């Protein structure tokens, strides 16, 4: 059962004696009531991005600072003219489908990141790069199931703000990491509305995320790279 906008607001202003420090069930910081919808709250894009260094071809820019009115071309994706010429001579070296850029979810060495900052004037993202972003908002959720999704206007600009990590947990505290992809070269701005957070009731005993030793991302701030996925010996019957 999904909470309505007025119920989200009520929960934010109602201390719960069963929560740590008697906190309310929902905390959103910063909060602006104009971002409260009929059954969700709008979230905004923070100004920090990360990319996995291993996935970026040598000589290519991960993004381009946007200057309104300027004309852009393929040349702008490259750090120098030599790399641009190399791209035309050997396009396979710059193709993200090239296995040299593989990500191994179980190999920590391939998850080293490069930091990017989104300037106030905007940043052009590339369709060939995956970006880790984050919400400007810090949230805490207790006794509810939180999840985020894209706004319709974001989707209609073909910006994907999460792949599979749109679902949160009861007890999660932190900013939300976003897995951002674009279909076309697309400008993003700090503090632009990037998604919505929803809350649902659940049934059963609680296993709060912030009390689970196996949780990886509680308290995260800014874009957080992937934890290494374990390969486990699960015995079959």
- Asked whether the bond before 19 is cis by omega within 30 degrees of 0, the reply is no
Q: Provide DSSP, 50-67.
A: EEEGGGSPTTB-SEEE--
User: Where does residue 25 rank: exposed (0-12), middle (13-18), buried (19+ CB within 10 A)?
Assistant: buried
160 neighbors 151 (Cβ within 8 angstroms):
no
Q: Nearest to residue 126, comparing CAs of 87, 77, 195?
A: 77
Strand intervals (E) in the chain: 26-29, 41-44, 48-52, 63-65, 113-117, 123-125, 131-141, 145-149, 159-160, 173-182, 186-188, 193-200
Q: Which residues are catalytic?
A: 179
Report which DSSP code applies to 214. Answer: T
Residue count (the chain): 237
Q: Provide DSSP, 92-141.
A: GGG-TTSGGG---TT-GGGG-EEEEE--TT-EEEPTT--EEEEEEEEEEE
């Amino acid at each position: 059962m999904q909470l309505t906008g007025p119920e989200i607001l009520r929960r934010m202003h109602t201390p719960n004696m069963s929560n740590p420090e008697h906190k309310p069930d929902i905390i959103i910081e910063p909060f602006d009531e104009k971002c409260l919808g009929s059954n969700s709250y709008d979230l905004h894009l923070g100004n920090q991005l990360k990319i996995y260094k291993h996935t970026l071809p040598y000589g290519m820019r991960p993004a381009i600072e946007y200057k309104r009115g300027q004309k852009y071309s393929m040349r702008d994706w490259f750090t120098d003219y030599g790399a641009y010429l190399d791209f035309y001579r050997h396009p396979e070296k710059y193709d993200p489908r090239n296995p040299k850029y593989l990500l191994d979810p179980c190999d920590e060495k391939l998850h080293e990141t490069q930091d990017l900052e989104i300037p106030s004037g905007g940043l052009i993202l590339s369709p060939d790069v995956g970006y880790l972003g984050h919400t400007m908002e810090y949230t805490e959720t207790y006794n509810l199931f939180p999840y985020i999704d894209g706004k319709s206007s974001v989707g209609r600009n073909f910006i994907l703000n999460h792949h599979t990590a749109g679902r949160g947990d009861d007890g999660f505290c932190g900013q939300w990491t976003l897995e951002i992809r674009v279909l076309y070269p697309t400008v993003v701005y700090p503090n632009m509305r990037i998604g919505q957070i929803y809350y649902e009731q659940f049934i059963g005993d609680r296993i709060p995320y912030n009390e689970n030793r196996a949780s990886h991302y509680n308290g995260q701030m800014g874009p957080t790279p992937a934890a290494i996925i374990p390969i486990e010996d699960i015995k079959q019957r």
